[in-house]
A and B are shown apart, each in its own frame.
Chain A
């Protein structure tokens, strides 16, 4: 998206804002953040953009479209509606989702909920050496070295990446399954 952002154009007519957002979302294969929208569209505030995006979301829902506006990985993206998964997946051989072993998934959950965490923190919870699973999560880009500087004398800390949010369909970190959701899930399974 980087290039499109730099080419600033004339100010967007307020009555066209929603359509402009829709047009940009339509051509993009990546999520677009509110900040990116602000950079592309001169004179539109993040509040206005959020408002128009909410209108779009509602419009798609109410008109029963086969696609939806999905809030994911700190941004927005047009995706298909889950109802059409079977048909779409026959047509569109999707980029392979990263498959995780139970051990890797367990370590990832610990990083996600406790971040930033050190290797030792993860090991303390799992009760088993976690070097190789953490390395493979790093390699797959699901976790990264935390940008927050560790306290002096402490080792590196890990945090989850936007790719993690995307893979798990999370809007942002506060969208991680809550205690209630987990309880609900356990009751129904």
Chain B
């Protein structure tokens, strides 16, 4: 077949048809319905020519033609040629053609049925959009997962345990240092906020560097308390006396 000829023919034949078909069955169904043919009485010869022409146009236009389209084209050509070629065993040939055709028709009918179901289902989704439910409260959803919000008492307990863990000793020197400590609460607030930026819960103790001195730990703790007070973060626990996690509050929820 000469490409140029087909292209000319196509341009007049399918002037604006450039829909992307979901698959070879979708294309076949379209061709059949366009000609108002009954699927069961479809003329394979007719439809094969149209189908092959369409594939050629798609290729001419550099559209990506999925391999399934080509397989279907081959199947159609086979059924068409089998029905045209003379065969020494006429009966055998007839039954083979009949069977292939029958299978294709069955596949088309089933596909058409699902296309219709898809449209009806889509209609249900449109009706569904007209009714509104109470919006999900994200903060509540978080609490449900973690059960309870850690109280100030829980936080202080966790802070004390942190000190035990790091075997910290209180003495006057450290109080001195607090005044000279270059890290400010503001800086720590920024640090904690950046760590919690992703929205993932972070373990309370992970916010305290192991080698941090007393002053830095206190500043970190004050920063956490301030962020909770400002409602920028929330402290959550799966139960009393369990690990405390800190999480950025969803800004969308008030």
B107-A109 in contact (CB<8A): no
Chain A residues with Cβ under 8 A from B110's Cβ?
125
Chain B residues with Cβ under 8 A from A127's Cβ?
23-26, 68, 72, 107, 111
Report the bound CA distance from A102 to B66 in whole Å: 17
B114-A109 in contact (CB<8A): yes
B122-A105 in contact (CB<8A): yes
Kindly count the residue-residue contacts between A and B in the assembled complex, taking CB atoms under 8 Å apart.
119
Tell me whether A109 and B130 are in contact in the complex, defined as CB-CB below 8 angstroms, given that A126-B25, A128-B66, A182-B116 are known contacts.
no
Chain B CB within 8 A of A157 CB: no
Chain A residues with Cβ under 8 A from B107's Cβ?
125, 127
B133-A126 in contact (CB<8A): no
Report the minimum CB–CB distance from B61 to chain A (whole Å). Answer: 19
Find the B residue at minimum CB distance from A94: B132
Chain B residues with Cβ under 8 A from A9's Cβ?
none
Chain A residues with Cβ under 8 A from B125's Cβ?
97, 167-169
Report the minimum CB–CB distance from B177 to chain A (whole Å). Answer: 46
Contact with A along B129-147 (1 / 0, CB 8 A): 1111111110000001001
B111, B118, B121, B134: the one contacting A28 at CB < 8 Å is B134
Report the bound CA distance from A79 to B72 in whole Å: 48
Report the bound CA distance from A158 to B124 in whole Å: 22
Report the bound CA distance from A141 to B115 in whole Å: 22
A92-B135 in contact (CB<8A): yes
Tell me whether A68 and B131 are in contact in the complex, defined as CB-CB below 8 angstroms, given that A127-B72, A168-B125 are known contacts.
yes
Interface residues of A (CB under 8 A from B): 2-3, 28-30, 68, 70, 77-82, 85, 88-89, 92, 94-95, 97, 102-103, 105-106, 108-110, 112-113, 125-129, 166-170, 176-177, 181-182, 185-186, 189
Interface residues of B (CB under 8 A from A): 22-26, 66, 68, 72, 107, 110-111, 114-125, 127-137, 144, 147
